[in-house]
Structure 1
């Protein structure tokens, strides 16, 4: 059945899609600013090293020193720009609004608290609208610029809510639990792979720095590569800290495992009361990971 596939992205409130776009834009801008600053620092260190190299002709020294100065100024401008624009705030708040909206949409569709059986569906819809309004109060002011649609309670949400317990249980299992489990599982594997790649890259850089210092020590060369490598290692370490590959890999893996257990529990749900408690338990698990993610990012 079509309803058993659950809610897809187009079936969620338009606030969700707007917050998604806002969050993605904030994340992209934040990462772009960070990459630019780190590259500027590495290139500034390289320029400084070349300006002091004995094999470089004396007239080239002012050029390299000037280049290093320009790179430091660009780094400062990028830092100030990031402080003013606060893209990370758009990223975090947009993600929080999107995830909160998604949770409310699923709870409404599954008839779970606070949208369990009401005298009329109109009452549930009014309650959902009030909840979404509260979520929007925490949203960035620019959310409205991305809100191109006005539909918050979609036809799919209404149809699934009106369906039988068996249909809703399958819809929730496939469209929410399994979809989220696969997402967390894939992200865990991806972050673990990225963590290994970056650790290997840093080991190579550190080995190169050691070799460069050894060459300088035995006077095979007068060029000090240590400063460049040190800047590269520091920048690489800062990038790993920003991306939090290992931390996210562990958190996503844990949530994926927890959702696998929740999926098994869902097979034994037999009554409306049990299903409502099951949905709320699952949503708490998903929200807990997201809350922890926000806490880590806000530190």
Structure 2
């Protein structure tokens, strides 16, 4: 039975960076979501305050509108100055780099093939932690040694066993993850694209109706326009289409690399194979970072 390596078997730096990145991502996305929703809510409140006749109701709605706009402005200020986006990217980069280093060490790949491989690995891990660019505070729930028992066990096996473990626990697992994410992002991209188109068409229909009947309230168009702009903003924030394409491309590339495993006959060839596979995985992540920060 082939040993299965999970993320729990990776060094603590990976687990801590991963948890930090997910937390920063969640906060950043939630703040962005609230800002977009408040923009829609503001336009709806503005519309209602013009349609309703009661003075007291109008004033109440306008008071709520002021409150909503104040919160939205505050959230925008927090989003701009919190640096959550940068923390998300930097921590994710540290986590993925720690995972790559750990797998290279486990499988005896270059530059950790020599007798000093462990010392070199610990030095690289320490350097990665120093250059992470974010203050990742150790968490007792995710604390793990730099070299876990299963990492040492994998490193002690022969090249063929290491290759099989790498294929099942790293390469094919990652390939399946990319495949699922590609499908999910492509579906979400289509879903939000049609929401934007629908809202824009409704706004266009209302604009034509306003030409035919100038007595109609113009605020309806504002609500639809704001909703369409917010939906498009969400589409741009999540980058469903570009992520779907990138994940699909990487998933196909990893399938090809998996087929080349049969050509590995010794430790040196295994090292070259691991480096090639890890470069493919790292390339996707590096491109993701570059697209987000440009």
Give the structure-1-normalised TM-score: 0.92
Shift of 1:129: 1.0
State the number of aligned residues.
Answer: 292
Q: Decide which moves more: 239-248 or 212-221.
A: 212-221
Q: Please state whether the residue corresponding to 1:143 is helix, strand or coil.
A: coil
Aligned partners of 1:41 and 1:231 also within 8 Å? yes
Match in the other structure for 1:166: 160
Q: Conserved in 2, the CA contact under 8 Å of 1:215 and 1:221?
A: no
Matches within 5 A, 1:50-199: 50-53=48-51, 56-116=53-113, 118-119=114-115, 123-146=116-139, 148-199=142-193
Could you tell which deviates more after superposition, 177-186 or 146-155? 146-155
Once the two structures are superposed, residues 176-214 of structure 1 have per-residue CA deviations (whole angstroms, 9 ceiling, x without a partner) of: 110010000000000000011111212221222223223
Q: What RMSD in Å do the two structures reach over aligned CA positions?
A: 1.7
- Runs of 5+ in structure 2 lacking a partner? none
Output one character per residue of 1:137-195: Cα deviation in whole Å (capped at 9) or x when no partner: 13354312436525110111111111011101101111111001000000000000001
Q: Which runs of 4+ in 1 moved over 4 A?
A: none
State whether residues 93 and 138 of structure 1, in contact with CA within 8 Å, keep that contact through their aligned partners in structure 2.
Answer: no
Return the match for 1:281 from 267, 276, 280. Answer: 276
Which residue among 216, 220, 231 is the counterpart of 1:222? 216
Q: Do the aligned partners of 2:87 and 2:134 also contact (CA within 8 Å) in 1?
A: no
In the aligned structure 2, how far is the partner of 1:221 from the partner of 1:205?
Answer: 22
User: Of the candidates 32, 35, 38, which is equivalent to residue 37 of structure 1?
Assistant: 35
CA distance, structure 1, for counterparts of residue 171 and residue 47 of structure 2: 54
Q: 11, 14, 17: which one pairs with 1:13?
A: 11
**Counterparts of 1:129 and 1:207 in 2: how far apart (Å)?**
58
* Aligned match of 1:260: 255
- For 1:233, which of 209, 214, 228 is the aligned residue? 228
Shift of 1:45: 1.5
Q: Name which of 202, 205, 215 aligns with 1:211.
A: 205
> Runs of 5+ in structure 1 lacking a partner?
none
Does residue 46 of structure 2 align to residue 48 of structure 1?
yes
8 Å contact from structure 2 (residues 200, 228) kept in 1: yes
Q: Using the TM superposition, give the Cα deviation of residue 215 of structure 1 relative to its aligned residue in structure 2, in angstroms.
A: 3.2
